[in-house]
Structures are given as C-alpha cells and as structure tokens.
Amino acid sequence: MTRTDAAAPLAADTRLRVRTAAVDETAPLVPRLDPRRPLLWMRRGEGLIGLGEALRIETRGPDRIGDAARAWRAVASTADVDDRVGLPGSGLVAFGAIAFADESAATSVLVVPEIVLGRRDGRAWVTRIERIDGVSADAPPEPVELPAPAPKRDVPRVRFTPGALPPEAYTSAVAEAVRRIDDGHVEKVVLAREIVGTLHEDAGLRAALAKLADDYPDTWVFAVDGLIGASPETLVRVDHGTVSARVLAGTASRGADAASDRERAAALASSHKDLAEHALAVESAVATLAPHTARLDASPEPFTLQLPNLWHLATDLKGTLGDGSSSLDLVRAVHPTAAVAGTPRNVALAEIAELEGFDRGRYAGPVGWVDADGDGEWAIALRCAQVEPDGTVRAYAGCGIVHDSVPDDELAETDMKFRPIVEAFGAPPPSPPVP
Ligand SMILES: C=C(O[C@@H]1C=C(C(=O)O)C=C[C@H]1O)C(=O)O
C-alpha cells in the first residue's frame, strides 16, 4: 500500500498494471466485501466492490480536489491497462471520498483496490490491479481469487446519542440562520447536526451495508475509507462525453397511507418555500457545470422523488462535455452546491462554520469513483456515517434553511434523514407517521 499526497508526489516509477476480464458471476456483491475495509459503489444491485489496496492518494486543503485530479491523471497516464470489457467502471478505477470543507481535518482520499469485482447491465468482470514499480511488466499477473460470499447476519447494534449541535442547539442555530436570512446577509444556509455511537463488532459494516442496499435500492450505496451511506443525490456523472446530475433540495415526510402520502408529495411540489430552496440548488449546479459543457438541459419542472423515508424535490441535468474535463474536474467545479452549502456559496460556508461549529469531515462532500479516462460517478455523501478505526460512528444530517424555515420542522427533517443510517445500525424503524 502506498500513501501519497500533493506535497509528496507519486514516485516516478509508480506504475500500475491493470487487467480486466469478463467473469460469469451472478451472486450479490455485498457478501464479498471486506468487512473491515469495505469499498463499495452500488445501485439496484449493480456497481463495484474493491478488495485490497494497491495505491492511495491523500489530499487536504482548499485545492484537495484539484490535487487529487492531478495526481490521478499522473497515475492513469502511466498505467498499463488491458480492459476486455469496456463498460463504465471496468479497467483502472479509484474509489474516492472528499472532505466537505477547505479547512477540514479529514483527509480526502482516492483508493485504488487490488481487485475490483464489477457488474453493469447484467455483465460482470474482475479487474486485477498490481504495482509494477521497478518490476518487469512481463512477469505474469497473479491469478485472482475472489473471497467466498459471507453468510447473511444481523446488523450490528449501535446506540446513537446527540453529538455536535444537539437538538436544542440545532434549533437555535436554525433560528439564528433565519434571522440572518431576514437581515439580508444570506439567502439559504444548509445546517447539519451530528449523532455519535460506537460499533463493537468487526464484521458489522458488511451487514449495515447489506441493509442500506436492501432498504434503499434506488440510492447510491457506498463505502469508502470508513465513510458509508446511501445517497439519493448524484453530484455528477461523466460517461464518454455525456454529463448528468440529479439535484435534490426540498423535503417532505411520507404519509401513513396512500392518500396522505400523495397529498404530501403534492404539497411539496407546490410549496413556495421548498421550490425556492430547490431553485437555488439547481441554479448553483447549472452555473458551475455550464462553463464545462457544450449543452446542459434541466428537467423543466422539479419532480417529486419518493424514497422509503421521505419525499424530495428533484431536478435531473443532462448534457455533453465541452472541454474534456474529467469527472473529478467537474466535482471540483460543482462542490459544494447550494443543496449542501447555501447561497451565496462563500457567505453560506462562513455561516455554516460559525453556526454549526463542527468539522463535517466527508459528510456532504463528494463520494464516488473515477476511471483512467476521467469518467466516473460521484454522489453527495448524504445519509451517511464515518466509521473510525476505533469503532466511533459519526452520522450527519442537515437541511436547507430559508426565510420560511421553522426550527422544529427542520429538526424533525434531520430525524427522517438519519433513518437510513440508524436503522442500518440496528435501531427499530420509527412508528408510522400520523395521517
Ligand atoms: C443536507 C442533506 O440533504 C440535502 C438537503 C435537502 C433539503 O434541505 O431539503 C434535500 C436533499 C439534500 O440535498 C442531508 O441529507 O443531510
């Protein structure tokens, strides 16, 4: 395993040999994850798992994404790649998780596994990645042996208690944000809070990820360097010159029966508060992507996206790349969107630092993967937790605060957003909402 960061560039002889071949594999991906250091990117049963670690790039500071993009370009440009599959995610890939804030103490990482097992459009492949620094590239690659799927087991039990910004402090921070919005300082600020627990069991992460994937199949279920979650929000995807994204902002609870559920979705779709909050998030994504795209279209009206725990207002963006940017270059351009920071961006970031007062780590940062050509899929790390090596689990959830925000409603919304993670760690589902 190699660690590198922008201050210490990769050794000149760091070279990767990458071999991808199709395999006949139909078993689910999650049971093959490394329970201690899972690497996962999955939606609707398809995606990538990574085993082992061939190379790690670590960056930090204001240009952590640019530094990672440059280091990745250098690694990719010297790699010896033989990819017999040619699907998104085959060939050389790195899994990435990036800190939210410039001043965060959390490292941003790109991790290149030794083995990738991938599945897409019903096809499966295995990629073997080896370091051949100073070694003859003619030496035969080592054969790949996939670990046997682990039997299903119960999710680990983690008891969460309030962490940074406990409920009363959170509602006060929301009230203060509304005052500052009314003063005209800022239009929208996204404020989050933290809950903390301890994971005692070693194999628990695989079971927690299996539950996230079972319960939230339409989200991006991810695990990168201890950051695990199930995000519904696609920050940006690049695939052979096409660009897409899904912007979310505006949230409502699910109803207890079909009629009240429909009513809540309809109320969300016509709520001035949520539509205003949503429009700011779409504007920020469009404005930051547009300079890099030849064309960029947004779905004309926001639509309501149904998730098991809530409704969101959603807008899909689709376009074509105009300047040869990699997915990491686009991540650098769009992060942080108004969906997780606010408007104007820099004022909102200063308000977050002051009113939240804790380090978000990689929560609300980009998480995803990038390939040798720069193509990749990145989500915003939401509905997630960072699991530290000592078993500490920190989960985060936040809400966009605008002029009409009501502190207790926003607190209730964070509880809905914590649900995927607290249930993946063994909490019983909440009682159904009152119709
Ligand atoms: C900030 C979070 O979610 C974001 C905020 C939303 C909102 O305020 O309505 C909706 C989706 C996300 O863009 C979170 O889940 O922690």
Total domains present in the chain: 1
What atom of ligand 1 comes closest to residue 190's alpha carbon?
1
Length of the chain: 435
Mean pLDDT throughout 139-155?
A: 82
Report the separation in Å between the CA atom of 130 and the middle of ligand 1, taken as the mean of its atom positions. Answer: 39
Is the residue at 386 inside a domain? yes
Residue 136 has pLDDT above 70, yes or no: no
Contact 363, 387 (CB under 8 A): no
pLDDT in the model for residue 1: 42
Q: Are strands 342-343 and 188-198 parallel, antiparallel or unpaired?
A: antiparallel
For the Cβ of 417 lying below 6 angstroms from any atom of ligand 1, the answer is yes
pLDDT tens figures, 255-311:
999 999 999 999 999 999 999 999 999 999 999 999 999 999 999 899 999 999 999
CA distance 50 to 295: 34
Residues of the chain with pLDDT > 90, as a percent, come to 86
Is residue 353, in this structure, part of any structural domain at all? yes
- The reply to whether 433 falls in a domain is no
- What's the whole-number average pLDDT of the chain? 93
Tell me if 143 is assigned to some domain. no
Q: Residue 230 is part of a domain; what is its CATH number?
A: 3.60.120.10
pLDDT at residue 14, as a whole number: 79
> H-type helices in 190-271, by residue range?
204-215, 258-269
The closest-lying atom of ligand 1 relative to the alpha carbon of residue 251 is: 9
The answer to whether position 434 is within a domain reads no
Q: What is the pLDDT of residue 423?
A: 97
Active-site position among 53, 58, 188, 413: 188
How far is 73 from 410, CA to CA, in rounded Å? 41
Site to substitute for ligand 1 among 417, 418, 419, most atoms within 8 A of C-beta: 417
Burial class (CB in 10 A: 0-12, 13-18, 19+), 219: buried
Mean pLDDT across the stretch 382-397? 97
Beta strands (DSSP E) in 301-360 are 303-306, 310-321, 342-343
CA distances from 145 to 51, 66, 80, 149 (A): 11, 35, 21, 12
The whole domain housing 294 covers 3-135+154-424
pLDDT higher than threshold 70 for residue 2: no
Q: pTM here?
A: 0.95
Q: Does a structural domain hold residue 37?
A: yes
User: Ligand 1: which atom is nearest the Cα of residue 278?
Assistant: 9
Tell me, yes or no, whether 146 lies in a domain: no
Choose the catalytic residue: 58, 233, 356, 410. Answer: 233
Higher pLDDT, 10 or 66: 66
Instruction: Please state, for a pLDDT cut of 70, what percent of the chain lies above it.
Output: 93
Quick check: is 201 catalytic?
A: no
Residue 148 lies in a domain: no
Please name the residues in contact with 357: beta carbons below 8 A apart, sequence gap of 6 or more: 164, 165
Q: How far is CA 51 from CA 111, 126, 129, 414, in A?
A: 10, 11, 10, 33
Give whole-number Cα distances, 266 to 273, 280, 392, in Å: 14, 20, 40
